[in-house]
Amino acid sequence: MTSDKARKLFEALDLDGNGTLTREEVITALRTKGPSLVATGVLPPWGVGNAEDSSALFDTADQNGDTVLTLEEFAAVVDRRFGWH
pLDDT in tens, 43-82: 988 888 889 999 999 999 999 999 999 999 999 999 999 8
pLDDT at 48: 81
pLDDT of 15 > 90? The answer is yes
What's residue 70's pLDDT? Answer: 98
Average pLDDT for the chain: 93
Do residues 44 and 80 lie in contact, with contact meaning Cβ atoms separated by under 8 Å?
no
- Residue 1 reports pLDDT greater than 90: no
Task: Say what the alpha-carbon torsion angle 30, 35, 40, 45 is, to the nearest 10 degrees.
Answer: 80
Structural contact between residues 84 and 78, judged by C-beta atoms closer than 8 angstroms = yes
pLDDT bin (cut points 50, 70, 90) of residue 16 is very high
C-alpha separations of 30 from 1, 20, 43, 64, 81 in Å: 24, 15, 10, 22, 16
Entry field: residues in the chain: 85
Q: In CATH, what is the architecture of 4-81?
A: Orthogonal Bundle (1.10)
Q: Where are the domains of the chain?
A: 4-81
